[in-house]
Structure 1
Amino acid sequence: MVHIRFEGRSVDVAKTQLGIVGGMNDVAVKERVARHLDVNSDRLCTYIVDRRPSGDLIIRPEAVYG
């Protein structure tokens, strides 16, 4: 499962629906997510790909504290 947080929206999408397979790097994952969201991949350049121990992914904006 891929949980995407983008511009105030949250959506869960199956990895297979996005075409994400094991071993893909962050850039490739962001490109697949950008295609799904129908936006340019540069809109996700500052986003984090958080890889959970379960194998799920969370695509989210970078957290800024302070």
Structure 2
Amino acid sequence: MIHIRFEGRSYDLEETDLGISDRTDNHEIFDRLARHFEVKRDRFDRYVIDRRPSGDYIVRPEAVYG
């Protein structure tokens, strides 16, 4: 499962929706997300991917503190 927080909304996708596996690197995941949402790749420049022990992914804007 890929949980995505994008532009104030939450989305849940299956890995097969994006054609990724546990070997897919973050750069490629962001490329595929940009295609999925039909936006330019740079919209994900300030996002991070948390890979959970369960195998799930959380894609979210990076946290800025202070």
Distance in 1 of aligned mates of 2:17 and 2:35? 11
Which stretches of structure 1, 4 residues or more, deviate above 3 A after TM superposition?
none
- Classify the secondary structure of the residue corresponding to 1:3: strand
Alignment gaps of 5+ in structure 2: none
Distance in 1 of aligned mates of 2:31 and 2:58? 14
What letter matches 1:57 in structure 2?
Y
Alignment gaps of 5+ in structure 1: none
TM-score between both structures, scaled by the size of structure 1: 0.94
CA deviation vs aligned residue, 1:16-38 (integer Å, no higher than 9, x gap): 01111121111001111111111
Computed over aligned residues only, the root mean square deviation of the Cα atoms, in angstroms, reads 0.8
- Classify the secondary structure of the residue corresponding to 1:60: strand
Aligned residues: 66
**Structure 2 match to 1:44:** 44
**Structure 1 match to 2:12:** 12
**Sequence identity (%):** 56
Distance in 1 of aligned mates of 2:34 and 2:56? 18
TM-score between both structures, scaled by the size of structure 2: 0.94
- The alpha-carbon deviation at position 55 of structure 1 amounts to 0.5
Distance in 2 of aligned mates of 1:27 and 1:45? 10
